[in-house]
Amino acid sequence: MGVKKVSKIKVAIDGPVSSGKSSAGSKTAAALNYQFIDTGIMYRALAYKIKIQNIPSTKWKQTAEAASFKWVGDLSKPSLILDGTNVSRNLFSPEISSFTSKVASVPEIRKILVSIQRKMAEDGGIVMVGRDIGTVVLPDAELKIFLTASLDARIKRRYEELNQSKTPIPIEKLKIEILERDKRDTTRSDSPLQIAENGIEIDSTHLTLDEVVEMIVKLAKDKESRD
Q: Which residues bind ligand C5P (CB under 6 A)?
A: 17, 39-40, 43-44, 100-101, 104, 130-132, 181, 185
For ligand C5P, which is the closer residue by CB, 40 or 124?
Answer: 40
Minimal distance, residue 54 CB to ligand C5P, in Å: 20
Is 130 buried (19+), middle (13-18) or exposed (0-12) by CB count in 10 A? buried
Minimal distance, residue 3 CB to ligand C5P, in Å: 37
For ligand C5P, which is the closer residue by CB, 70 or 218?
Answer: 70
Residues paired with 26 in a beta bridge: none
The residue type at 184: R
The residue type at 82: L
For ligand C5P, which is the closer residue by CB, 7 or 86?
Answer: 86
Minimal distance, residue 186 CB to ligand C5P, in Å: 10
Measuring CA to CA, which residue among 2, 11, 3 is closest to residue 129? 11
Minimal distance, residue 43 CB to ligand C5P, in Å: 4
Cα–Cα distance for residue pair 40/214, rounded to 1 Å = 23
Task: Return all residues near 143 (Cβ < 8 A) that are at least 6 apart.
Answer: 9, 10, 11, 12, 200, 216, 219, 220, 223
Cα–Cα distance for residue pair 7/26, rounded to 1 Å = 20
Minimal distance, residue 167 CB to ligand C5P, in Å: 19
For ligand C5P, which is the closer residue by CB, 178 or 224?
Answer: 178
Helix residue spans in 104-208 (DSSP H): 107-121, 151-162, 171-187
For ligand C5P, which is the closer residue by CB, 100 or 148?
Answer: 100
